[in-house]
């Protein structure tokens, strides 16, 4: 597992801890009523959502269907990609046959990102930081000089504060403290998002970064929700279909559970059954990173619509009154935005 540290630390949002009775009750209620939640998100005109991601392709594997659903419902949805993915590898063998992928992988990934944003119907902004790469070794080597995860917190956060004050989102989504998985850029994007979320409404902080604006809700993406994988695994087995999740679940249930798999309980499930094809189109747009018949497409969409037609999130902070469990990231904001 790879960790990175920053000279400063962002304030941690009070995410509902796993041992909080409210979290357990919300999780039980969500599981009990699945998949009978609202079939679609409400009309969302006038509302704005900002999703913070570390690299191009992260937006398509984490919360993509949710973004497509809200964009289609009239919300302004923006993806901000912190780095250019310059340190990425060719993860789809077919892409290795394309000469441009070897000459200019960064340029190819920019084109892929534009195609993915179009598939989801969202706006997109690059923050322009340098990909830190995933250090390997024991101990791991130092991060590249000037890379995103090597920067002081305020320096890395200032562009995101500026963007929040310009776009004025009501809701912000990001990874939890583990980064979703322990890539230095994922962990740093968590830290900078928390810093920007808390600082953007304070006129005394980042005074040269625009007029203050305070987002009202912060969510952690829960793409690696063990409950989701377990429900899909059990349904596949019951249907006599090979499950690709058995080995993973066995590890998670044993002493081999990875440290980065946090114990946050899901508080919010957004119904996305009608937008799984948009998610797939966005994933396949990232041809250098995603095999067209790979893991992300292991479960047929019609099956997902029956078993788990949601994207899962953890409510980390709210400035408005709401009650969990939720089926809407804008719960508590409608009529007040």
Residue 283 corresponds to which tokens in the numbers above?
């994933």
Lowest mean pLDDT segment, chosen from 31-40, 103-112, 118-127, 136-145: 31-40
Distant-in-sequence, close-in-space partners of 267: CB < 8 Å, separation ≥ 6: 16, 23, 26, 313, 314, 315, 324, 325, 326
pTM comes to 0.87
pLDDT of 10 > 50? The answer is no
Residues belonging to the binding site are 55, 58, 186
Q: What would the DSSP string read from start to end of 69-128? A: HHHHTT-EEEEEEEE--TT----SGGGGG-HHHHH-HHHHHHHHHHHHHHHHT-EEEEEE
Query: What is the pLDDT, as a whole number, of residue 12?
Result: 40
Higher-confidence residue of 87 and 170: namely 170
CATH hierarchy code of domain 21-225+263-318: 3.40.50.10320
Q: Does the pLDDT at position 19 exceed 80?
A: no
Nearest CA among 160, 79, 87 for reference residue 114: 79
Q: What is the pLDDT of residue 34?
A: 52
pLDDT in tens, 76-101: 999 999 999 999 888 899 988 889 99
pLDDT at 3 over 50: no
Return the domain boundaries, the chain: 21-225+263-318
% of the chain at pLDDT higher than 90: 68
Query: Which of 136-140, 234-238, 305-309 shows the lowest mean pLDDT across its residues?
Result: 136-140
Which is more confident, 5 or 321? 321
Identify the sign of the CA torsion 101, 105, 110, 113: positive
- Compute the CA torsion angle 308, 298, 51, 155 (nearest 10 deg): 140
Largest CA distance in the chain: 60
Of 89, 87, 43, 138, whose CA–CA distance to 337 is shortest? 43
Q: Quick check: 36 pLDDT over 80?
A: no
pLDDT for the residue 38: 54
pLDDT value of residue 336: 73
CB of 187 within 8 A of CB of 177?
A: yes
Q: What are the tens digits of pLDDT across the range 209-234?
A: 999 999 999 999 998 888 898 999 99
Closest to 289 measured CA to CA, from 55, 90, 83? 90
The pLDDT value recorded for residue 253 is 80
Cα distances (Å, whole numbers) of residue 71 to 119, 122, 187, 238: 11, 6, 27, 35
Mean pLDDT, residues 134-158: 93
Confidence at 8, pLDDT banded by 50, 70, 90? very low
Higher per-residue confidence, 295 vs 174: 174
pLDDT exceeds cutoff 80 at 9: no
pLDDT band at 72 (very low <50, low <70, confident <90, very high): very high
Q: pLDDT band at residue 14, thresholds of 50, 70 and 90?
A: very low
Confidence at 129, pLDDT banded by 50, 70, 90: very high
Q: Tens of pLDDT along 285-331?
A: 999 999 988 888 988 999 999 999 999 999 999 999 999 999 999 99
Positions at the binding site for Zn(2+) = 55, 58, 186
Q: Which helix (H) or strand (E) holds 213?
A: none
For 313, the token pair is 């999130």
pLDDT of residue 321: 95
| Strands of 268-271's sheet in order across | 123-129, 76-83, 48-53, 171-174, 217-221, 310-318, 268-271
- On whether the CB atoms of residues 52 and 172 are closer than 8 A, the answer is yes
pLDDT at 31: 57
- Beta strands at 123-129 and 48-53: parallel, antiparallel or unpaired: unpaired
**pLDDT band at residue 62 under the 50/70/90 scheme:** very high
Q: In angstroms, rounded to a whole number, what is the distance separating the alpha carbons of residues 323 and 337?
A: 18
For residues 37 and 66, the answer to whether their CB atoms sit within 8 Å is no
């Amino acid at each position: 597992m790879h960790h990175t540290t920053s000279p400063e630390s962002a304030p941690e949002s009070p995410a509902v801890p796993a041992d909080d009775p409210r979290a357990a009750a919300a999780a039980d209620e969500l599981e009990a009523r699945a998949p009978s939640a609202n079939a679609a998100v409400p009309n969302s005109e006038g509302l704005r959502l900002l999703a913070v991601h570390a690299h191009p392709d992260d937006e398509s594997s984490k919360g993509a269907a949710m973004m497509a659903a809200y964009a289609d419902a009239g919300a302004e949805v923006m993806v901000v990609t912190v780095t250019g993915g310059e340190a990425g590898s060719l993860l789809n063998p077919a892409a290795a046959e394309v000469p441009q992928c070897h000459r200019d992988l960064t340029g190819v990934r920019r084109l892929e990102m534009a195609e993915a944003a179009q598939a989801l119907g969202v706006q997109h902004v690059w923050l322009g930081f340098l990909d830190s790469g995933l250090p390997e070794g024991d101990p791991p080597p130092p991060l590249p000089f000037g890379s995103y995860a090597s920067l002081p917190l305020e320096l890395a956060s200032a562009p995101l504060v500026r963007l929040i004050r310009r776009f004025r989102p009501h809701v912000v989504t990001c990874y939890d403290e583990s980064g979703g998985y322990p890539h230095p850029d994922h962990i740093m994007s968590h830290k900078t998002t928390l810093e920007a979320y808390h600082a953007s409404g304070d006129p005394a902080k980042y005074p040269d970064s625009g007029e203050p604006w305070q987002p009202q809700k912060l969510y952690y993406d829960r793409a690696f929700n063990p409950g989701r994988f377990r429900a899909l695994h059990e349904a596949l087995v019951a249907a006599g279909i090979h499950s690709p999740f058995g080995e993973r679940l066995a590890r998670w249930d044993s002493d081999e559970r990875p440290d980065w798999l946090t114990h946050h309980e899901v508080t919010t499930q957004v119904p996305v059954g009608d937008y799984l094809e948009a998610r797939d189109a966005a994933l396949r747009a990232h041809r250098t990173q995603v095999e067209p018949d790979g893991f992300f497409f292991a479960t047929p969409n019609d099956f997902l619509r029956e078993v788990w037609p949601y994207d899962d999130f953890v409510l980390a902070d709210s400035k408005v009154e709401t009650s969990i469990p939720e089926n809407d990231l804008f719960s508590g904001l409608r009529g007040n935005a």
